[in-house]
Chains A and B, each alone.
Chain A
Amino acid sequence: MISAGSPEAPVLVRREWCKGCGICIAMCPKKVLEAAPDGKAVVARPDDCTRCETCEIMCPDFAVRVVAKRAAAPAGRREAVADGR
């Protein structure tokens, strides 16, 4: 079991930068994040995190970091693209 603030937690929220927009909370497919009473995000279910990085990519405030990244994907396939061509 890893707790939200422990060094092993896969995802961290920097409270001083978070503006409580709720985007990460809504976008996380595993519902790892929750809103604190002040609206800012907290890591509520770290064990459920699959390290997909959606929260980190979607946070407009650079306030969420997935600290334990997955192994690097092969070059050229690093960000998913559905080309509209």
Chain B
Amino acid sequence: MAKSIDEYLRTQFMPHIWCPGCGHGIVLNALLRAVARLDLPKDQVCVVSGIGCASRAPGYLDFNTLHTTHGRAIAFATGIKLANPDLHVIVVTGDGDGAAIGGNHLIHAARRNMGVTTVMFNNSIYGMTNGQYSPLTPSGMFAATAPYGNVERNFDMCELVRASGANYVARATVAQARQLSTYIERAIENPGFAFVEAVGSCPTYFGRRNKLGSSLQMLETLKKNSVTAAAAAKLDPAELRGKIIIGEFYRGDAPGYIELYDGVIERAKEAAGK
């Protein structure tokens, strides 16, 4: 096992560009501890991202890394996994990157049960471009593009990805960083498509505009608003308003795309008489 997660950092590029107290750092820390516990060789990990603050993560990581185009990380990751199924392919994406422009790739990767782990860094906003609302900005919250409050309803990403066919679906906030790390570990271990929504915070754009206080206060609010899936099952929708349901929502063992594709290769070989 890695002595320290520093072994996974390109320390020459630190400190990272994220703002003081940005939740993205806590999510990345949880991800690296998960990789350390699994003791994965660095060369067998490939971290792929799109565009956004969250998507800057691979630049600091000493694995195989790819920083791609906005919303397309899962498409690149799919290609990588098919070309080299032995790699642990991990997608790091924001709520804008993965749920807005990249939403279609996400649901289809889940439907295919593609052997990719996706960690969505959900800070409820487009941070990099100064605070436009995303499909995960809760209704009623303020954003640069919602100065009178967001009238749209936000997706429940875990329900969406679960319904699309993923094998593993879980959510935790950065206020439960140990739990978050354990979910990411299980997601990496689980064959097929695995999805972890990491609810974090953007103190700079989401926090300021919604007067949510310091990064520390935002952490405390996340903790206070978290409800376990078991507890949530006993509450009615009115009581759940503004709450974040955390837990493991699904662990399945449907055959993954890679496994099924091995069968295609076998059949093609037989047909060719090899």
Chain A residues near B (Cβ < 8 Å): 16-17, 19-23, 26, 56-63, 65, 72, 78-85
Contact = CB atoms under 8 A, between A and B. Distances in A.
Contacts of B30: 57
Given A22-B214, A79-B33, A85 B21 contact: no
Contacts of B14: 17, 62
Interface residues of B, number: 43
Residue among A58, A59, A65, A78 with the highest chain B CB neighbour number at 10 A: A58
Interface of B: 1, 4-6, 9, 14-16, 18-26, 29-30, 33, 37, 176-179, 181-183, 185, 214-216, 219, 227-232, 245-248
Residue among A16, A17, A60 with the highest chain B CB neighbour number at 10 A: A60
B266 to A, nearest CB: 35
5 contacts: A23-B219, A57-B30, A84-B245, A84-B248, A85-B229
Contacts of B176: 82
B21 A62 contact: no
Given A21-B215, A61-B15, A81 B21 contact: no
Q: Which 6 A-B pairs have the closest CB atoms?
A: A84-B247, A60-B25, A84-B228, A21-B21, A84-B229, A19-B20
A84 B21 contact: no
A83 B248 contact: yes
B170 to A, nearest CB: 9
B230 A21 contact: no
A57 B179 contact: no
Contacts of B21: 19, 21-23, 60
B21 to A, nearest CB: 4
A80 to B, nearest CB: 5
Contacts of B26: 57-60
A58 B245 contact: no
A75 to B, nearest CB: 9
Contacts of A19: 15, 19-21
A78 B184 CA distance: 13
Contacts of B9: 62
Nearest to A25: B216
A57 B30 CA distance: 7
B177 A57 contact: yes
Contacts of A57: 26, 29-30, 33, 177-178, 181
Contacts of A84: 227-232, 245-248
A25 B115 CA distance: 39
A7 B86 CA distance: 41
B38 to A, nearest CB: 11
B29 A59 contact: yes
Given A21-B215, A84-B229, 14 more contacts: A21-B216, A57-B30, A59-B25, A60-B21, A60-B215, A61-B16, A62-B25, A62-B29, A79-B37, A79-B178, A79-B185, A81-B179, A84-B232, A84-B248
